[in-house]
Structure 1
Amino acid sequence: MRVTEIIADLPVADIDAARDFYADYLGLSNEEFNLGWVARFTSPESGAHVQVVTKDATAPEDAAISVKVDDVDAAYAEARRRGYEIVHPLVDEEWGVRRFFVRSPDGTVINMVAHRV
């Protein structure tokens, strides 16, 4: 497993209010996606981005970060081998990702994710 990107998952109460701040004020004006409960805003110049989440639509807890990996199945197997708590099982989500949530030893919930091909 190789980590390819880490994205902060910031909790917000309202996606539209978040858009006003992150897109209009900070200039992260490229809305990569918006599923109604999660959206990502990206700078068209630098590629810097932030992901905002009101409440995860399918998981029992919200993640603090999303870690994109090249092989999510290998990441899942390794997390289980190490005895880490799996918060949300390995699943194919309808929006095109395969993911699971794992709790780090300090208690942080991590969304381990890969886009399906």
Structure 2
Amino acid sequence: MACYRCAKTEKTEIDGRKYCFDCGVDIALVLLRDAGIHDHTIQTLAMVCSKQPVPTEHHYSATDIGNELGLSAQKIGRLANKHKLKTRKFGEWRLTTALYSAKQVESFYYNDQGKAQIELLVKHEKTKTTAISR
């Protein structure tokens, strides 16, 4: 049988229709986007599926940064949300496994620039708090 979309040789079946590998991947990517998965995560999945190396620099989780600064990961996340730091400039979204379940979740990982920005904001907040308490 031929692929339902492009008439190439079929390899996989989705919703009862037979597709070639390329069309199957295209459909899967559309479904992921429709499910609200971030584009960067989808691009990374596509690279993994095509066995391409995924380029990345060193990144830090909110937990890593929080441990260094003596703060909780939740505090780091709230600070990043408040200052709109969860962008490609400051890091990337990754699919991870939730801490206390097997559920897949998207987590933001900060690059060196994002980590430095958070450190600066924490230092600024501590300075503000010290000035108020005097």
How does the TM-score come out when normalised to structure 1? 0.28
Compare CA radii of gyration and give the structure with the larger one: 2
Query: By percentage of residues, which structure has more helix?
Result: 2
How does the TM-score come out when normalised to structure 2? 0.26
